[in-house]
Structure 1
Amino acid sequence: MKKLLFLVLLLCSTSLFAQEEKYQLSEDDYQNESVEMADTMRQSGKIYVVVAVVITIFAGLVFYLVRLDKKVSRLEQDIEAQGKEKA
């Protein structure tokens, strides 16, 4: 019952995030080849800070996953060893 209620509330709430107004695209939008935000950040040198933060986060996630994999592998070996001792 709780799952059904949760599902109904979830489906009702998704309509709250829908856009009501559509953004009208013009020919200028299709011809635009520059990205103002990236150009501004590149000119001020802040793009390198953004890249460094993204790389740091990615490296942290990889490090965490490698450590987690080693721990799980060690636990699996311990469980297998305990199973062999009991048999």
Structure 2
Amino acid sequence: MDIAQGRTTNYLAETAYFPKVAARSWRWGPEMWEAAHALEEAGLPTDLADAAASVMGRWTGLKDTSPDLALVLDELHKGPQGDPT
């Protein structure tokens, strides 16, 4: 709670934060697919979890790297595994 209260901006507004998230997204993508599956089994909408998993999947190739913002955004515009959408 203290960390959240200390924030002056939204993480999504801090583009410098994107490379850090992209380099770690390989951990969260599979978890988001699992969450989507659990939601589906419960008869609930999966849209948000599916979207998060898709974004994280686009950054899989950046695992444990130090990408710059341009590369992060380039990978985001590609489909999963680097295939154009």
> Which one has more relative contact order, counting CA pairs under 8 Å at least 6 apart?
2
Structure with the largest fraction of helix:
1
TM-score (norm 1): 0.28
Question: Which structure: larger Rg?
Answer: 1
